[in-house]
Amino acid sequence: MKIRMLAVVASGLLLSSAVLAEGISDNKISIGVMADMSGVYADICGKGCVTAAQMAVDDFGGQVAGKPIEIVSADDKNNPDEAAAIAHQWIVNQGVDVIAGLVSSSVTAAVIEETNAAGRMVLISGAGSNAFSTSSCSPNIAHWTYDVVALANGTVKPMVQDGKRKWFFITADYAFGHALEEVASNVISANGGTVTGSVRVPLGAHDFSPYVRQALDSGADVVALANAGDDFVHALEAAAKAGVMERMDVVGLLVFLQSARALDPAIAAGMRLTTGFYWDMDEATRQWSARFKARHGDMPSMVHAGVYSAVSHYLRNVAETGTDNTPVVMSSMKKNRPSDFFARRARLRPDGRMIHDMYQVRIKKASERRNPDDIFAIETISTGVQVYDPMASSCSFR
């Protein structure tokens, strides 16, 4: 009996030592921030996402579990192959533990192949495809800021219910645009509407006039712009020039602060849209946004705010668990609810989808704006349960 007890104690000590020895690999936490730094999405993430991640690190004191935190960053140029190569190099040669940012859905999918193979984590803040918590779900994914389902339920559903029955889509021709059109079309059909047609446009197009003419000929009540960033701005300007607003509603399905601010209020005022964050919501968002602007030179988009929130939650749970082991940290992130100026009534579900409050806003008229950043008026707040899809049982990772 004594020998057996000694063996049990010894095995317990070995197990404890193994857990303690695991600790922080490479004696540092390395966070990679990847985004379009020079193309159509540069303003909504880009270098601002690096700033947001660095703010999270600085607010955490620059170290966790007694180990330093470093940030590396790269421009993925909206190129999936280039993004995959960067991710591979970061993981193999630089020991990157987690990759944040990630705007283009096709880029994000390529990066996830690399992180899954290496058992590393991704904190998605910019990509909108719902595939990352459905068909392409993984135990290594935390999808933070928004997705196409929340956008469609927040923006499209109320319009159809208000009588806007016939829709035409001008869609960015890659994974995000396709997913947004598909999900929005399902919402339209489920609420008694129809889709009269759609046209797909290459990313980064400048001349939207041919696509706008197709929308004019469609007989639709609403033209939905299933794109973002500069593509959204160019599409809406082309629609205004062609007189589309005089004949039908035009709605942006993903509109960032920077895009709305770039438009003439005479064109954009009155448009309603869904967002995951606005800098002027309350004192907490105003204080953080002022700090961000002081460092970055511009007010934050919801992607910037999401990066800060996601990185902060990651670091808190590394500190709690004492390790950067992906399954251990992710389990802790799902157990502990995120709560900060961005994450309201939030939780990270077992499928990796972070659900939180979303906001239906209206673009203000010029006469309503107190300053150049005073763009949105919040009209309705929806809970995450109301706007995000229920969790798929096949993606219930614990």
Sheet of strand 63-64: strand arrangement: 63-64, 67-75, 29-35, 98-101, 121-124, 141-143
Contact 129, 105 (CB under 8 A): yes
Instruction: Output the CATH code of domain 149-275+359-387.
Output: 3.40.50.2300
Give the least confident one: 15-24, 156-165, 387-396. Answer: 15-24
Query: For the residues 3-28, what does the mean pLDDT come to?
Result: 51
Q: What is the mean pLDDT of the chain?
A: 93
pLDDT digits (tens, 9 = 90+) for 320-334: 999 999 999 999 999
pLDDT digits (tens, 9 = 90+) for 32-72: 999 999 998 999 999 999 999 999 999 999 999 999 999 99
Domain 28-146+281-356 of CATH type 3.20.20.70: no
Residue 305 has pLDDT above 80, yes or no: yes
Could you give the percent of the chain with pLDDT greater than 70? 94
Domain range annotation of the chain = 28-146+281-356, 149-275+359-387
Identify the band that residue 77 occupies on the pLDDT scale cut at 50, 70 and 90.
very high
Residue 385 has pLDDT above 90, yes or no: yes
What are the backbone angles phi and psi of residue 10, rounded to the nearest 5°? -60, -45
Identify the band that residue 8 occupies on the pLDDT scale cut at 50, 70 and 90.
very low
Residue 87 has pLDDT above 80, yes or no: yes
The reported pLDDT for the residue numbered 398 is 72
The reported pLDDT for the residue numbered 393 is 85
The reported pLDDT for the residue numbered 397 is 87
Q: CA-to-CA distance for 159 and 204, rounded, in angstroms?
A: 28
Record the tokens describing residue 95, joined without a space.
Answer: 């020991």
The 3-state secondary structure of the chain reads CHHHHHHHHHHHHHHHHHHHHHCCHHHCEEEEEEECCCCCCCCCCHHHHHHHHHHHHHHCCCEECCEEEEEEEEECCCCHHHHHHHHHHHHHHHCCCEEEECCCHHHHHHHHHHHHHHCCEEEECCCCCHHHHCCCCCCCEEECCCCHHHHHHHHHHHHHHCCCCEEEEEEECCHHHHHHHHHHHHHHHHCCCEEEEEEEECCCCCCCHHHHHHHHCCCCCEEEEECCHHHHHHHHHHHHHCCHHHCCEEEECCCCHHHHHHCCHHHHCCCEEEECCCCCCCHHHHHHHHHHHHHHCCCCCHHHHHHHHHHHHHHHHHHHHCCCCHHHHHHHHHHCCCCCCCCCCCEECCCCEEECCEEEEEECCHHHCCCCCCCEEEEEEECHHHHCCCCCHHHCCC
pLDDT digits (tens, 9 = 90+) for 184-203: 999 999 999 999 999 999 98
pLDDT digits (tens, 9 = 90+) for 230-288: 999 999 999 999 999 999 999 999 999 999 999 999 999 999 999 999 999 999 999 99
Residue carrying structure tokens 């229920």? 390
Which residues face 23 on adjacent strands? none
Residue 15 has pLDDT above 60, yes or no: no
